Amino acid sequence: MQPGSSVSLVARRHGLSPSLLFSWKRRMIEGGHQAVHADEDVVGTSHVRDLEKRVRDLERLLGRKTMEVEIL
């Protein structure tokens, strides 16, 4: 079996392009290298988006409370 042929088989089985799988692999490796270099954990983008939304919500709430205090 040639290198990469198993990737082609998996891609075909799941209806994906082999280049997409290689791209995902490259991104995973690059993300891992960055995390190791920064000595940090790898965090999923969905988790980051959830945290960013929470920060926006808390900033909005803080703004409202600050305005209430100024009014009082």
CB 42 within 8 A of CB 35: yes
Tokens describing residue 30: 């690059």
Per the domain annotation, does 2 fall within a domain?
no
Q: What is the DSSP letter of 3?
A: T
Per the domain annotation, does 1 fall within a domain?
no
35 in helix, strand or coil?
Answer: helix
Q: In the prediction, which pLDDT does 72 show?
A: 87
CB 4 within 8 A of CB 14: no
| Averaged pLDDT for residues 25-48 | 76
Residue 18: which residues within 8 A CB-CB, separation 6 or more?
4, 7, 8, 11
Q: How many domains does the chain have?
A: 1
Per the domain annotation, does 16 fall within a domain?
yes
Give the range of the structural domain holding residue 55, as residue numbers without chain letter. 7-71
Q: Which pLDDT band, with edges at 50, 70 and 90, does 1 fall under?
A: very low
- Over 50: is that where the pLDDT of 4 sits? yes
Per the domain annotation, does 12 fall within a domain?
yes
